[in-house]
Amino acid sequence: MALRPGRRAASIEPMTLAQLGWNDFFAQAFAPHAAAGCLPARVTLELKGYFEVTGGFGAKLSQCTGKYINACVSPAEFPAIGDWVAVTAQAGEEQRMHIHATLPRRTKFSRKAAGEQDLEQIVAANIDTIFLVSAFDGNYHLHRVERYLAAAFASGAQPVILLNKADLADDTETLQREITGAAPDLPVFVVSAQTRRGLKVLAPYLQPGMTVALMGSSGVGKSTLINRLVGENLQFTQDVREDDNKGRHTTTQRELLVAPGGFIVIDTPGMREIQPWVAEASVRAAFADILDLTAQCKFRDCSHTVEPGCAVQSAIKAGALGKARWHSCQRMLLATMKAPTYGDRRAEQERKKGVKKMNKSLRQRVHAKSDGE
């Protein structure tokens, strides 16, 4: 049976720190807290105002101390699913813990929080591999995949793209080529959670002590995939709506599960829209090879359309750079330039210049295509 930190914390058997993904990086960061009498634990469930933490003592409900709360200057400093924290037992509460600190994060998948304020939201922390899940149905959208990719590249974890629901598609190769064109250096696997097609090739990412997080929109089959990978029906699943192929929110909270095979899975609610945190840096990480090319252009203000000595166009003509990937890079850069710059007049002016330049480039590309036709 899977060791599942969850609703009945008192009934969960204690696990070793190694089973939860502990390593030398966290041991070194925890040393000062150990001297203060704290115990290490990992956040395995996020609740409203509370967290479930799991360690050598089992799984217990916990909350941040007032001192910790007062020291935090942004929501991103609070614990998130997958974080390692320093805890002590609450006085007179056998099943309650106090959280005193969060250890430094080795990796983090984050996005801009909803709303007008410029705030970072940590979706999951300390991940080794991110399974970016899309599907062969109405949920698929290339631009959304690109945004997930930008956030994944910025996370520090290894992105892997899973194209799920292959059992619903007659032609899987066309979509796979489109994804590969946008992300040529990433693993792209065609799978089916229903028929278990392609799941065996994921074994290298599912090693004991390694943490995998599944990200994607509602309805792409993340919960079903988890059930297949773990080997048990741990996650409740629902069918997508037949009228519009949009997913139902099966997963409503972030949760960390430990599989019988020893690997660790983080399930997250579906995110139909995602704006990567520090968006420009995320895009630059995702398209570093293309941005290296733009630096080699003859003219510094090259629009990468008709100018002589354009390294980008030369690479496209030579077949070294696919048009689909170049267009993806342009779309993502334009999206970052349209991002708000709160209260920074100079940044706003630079943003407007960048938008004008990019719009000019896109117009020239459209005109060039029309003339060619």
State pLDDT tens for residues 253-303.
789 999 988 999 998 886 655 665 555 666 777 777 888 888 899 888 888
CA distance 129 to 239: 26
Q: Return the beta strands (E) in the chain as ranges.
A: 39-46, 51-55, 58-64, 84-89, 96-102, 108-112, 120-125, 129-135, 158-164, 188-190, 211-215, 255-258, 264-267
Q: Assess contact for 173 and 136: CB atoms under 8 A.
A: no
Please give the model's pTM, rounded to 2 decimal places: 0.74
Residues ≥6 apart with Cβ < 8 Å to 149:
132, 159, 161, 182, 183, 186, 286
Least confident of 33-47, 255-269, 316-330: 316-330
pLDDT at 137 over 70: yes
pLDDT higher than 60, residue 7: no
- Is the Cβ–Cβ distance between 127 and 155 less than 8 Å? yes
The pLDDT of residue 279: 56
pLDDT at site 143: 76
Q: How far is CA 5 from CA 46, 81, 113, 134, in A?
A: 11, 12, 27, 27
**Residues 309, 179, 301: CA angle, nearest 5 degrees:** 25
Task: Give pLDDT tens digits for 149-171.
Answer: 878 888 889 999 999 998 988 88
Q: 9-102 adopts what CATH topology?
A: OB fold (Dihydrolipoamide Acetyltransferase, E2P) (2.40.50)
More confident site: 119 or 345: 119
Q: Is it the case that residue 307 has pLDDT exceeding 90?
A: no
Task: Supply angle C-alpha 78, 51, 112, rounded to 5.
Answer: 40
The conformation of residue 136, written as its DSSP 8-state character, comes to S
Domain 108-267 has CATH 3.90.1170.50: no
Task: Show the tokens assigned to 226.
Answer: 């988890």
Phi, psi of 311, rounded to the nearest 5 degrees: -70, -30
pLDDT at 282: 63
Structure confidence at residue 348 as a pLDDT band (50, 70, 90): very low
Domain coordinates of the chain in residue numbers?
Answer: 9-102, 108-267, 287-372
pLDDT bucket at 372, cuts 50 / 70 / 90: low
- pLDDT value for 344: 44
Please tell me which residue, 36 or 47, carries the higher pLDDT value: 36
State whether residue 366 is helix, strand or coil. Answer: helix
What CA–CA distance (Å, rounded) separates 150 from 48? 29
Q: What is the pLDDT of residue 363?
A: 53
How confident is the model over 215-233, as a mean pLDDT? 85
Nearest CA-CA partner of 275 in 121, 124, 158:
121
Sequence-separated (6 or more) residues with CB below 8 Å from residue 215: 109, 123, 130, 131, 132, 133, 148, 152, 222, 268, 271
Task: Look at residue 200 in the predicted model and tell me its pLDDT.
Answer: 93
Of the candidates 111, 123, 146, the one whose C-alpha atom is nearest the C-alpha of residue 339 is 111
The tokens of 81 are what?
A: 């699913």
Q: What pLDDT is recorded for position 100?
A: 97
Residue 170 or residue 131, greater confidence: 131
Q: Is the pLDDT of residue 356 over 70?
A: no
- Residue 267's DSSP bridge partners are 214, 255
Among 51-65, 120-134, 323-337, the minimum mean pLDDT is found in 323-337
- Determine the pLDDT at residue 354: 54
Is the pLDDT assigned to residue 355 strictly greater than 60? no
Q: Does domain 287-372 have CATH number 1.10.40?
A: yes
Asked whether the predicted pLDDT for residue 121 surpasses 50, the reply is yes
Question: What is the full DSSP assignment across 75-93?
Answer: GGGS--TT-EEEEEEPTT-
Tokens (6 digits) for 84: 């390692």
Q: Over the stretch 57-96, which tens digit does the pLDDT of each residue have?
A: 999 999 999 999 999 888 899 999 999 999 999 877 667 9
Q: What is the mean pLDDT of the chain?
A: 79
First to last CA, the chain: 62
Among residues 210, 218, 209, 216, which one has the least CA distance to residue 131?
216
Q: Which residue has the higher pLDDT, 29 or 277?
A: 29
Among 163-167, 246-250, 286-290, 362-366, the range with the most confident prediction by mean pLDDT is 163-167
Could you report the per-residue pLDDT of 179-221, keeping only the tens digit for each?
Answer: 887 777 789 999 999 999 999 999 999 999 999 999 988 888 8
pLDDT of amino acid 306: 80
Highest mean pLDDT among 83-97, 138-152, 325-339: 83-97
Residue 177's pLDDT band (boundaries 50, 70, 90)?
A: confident
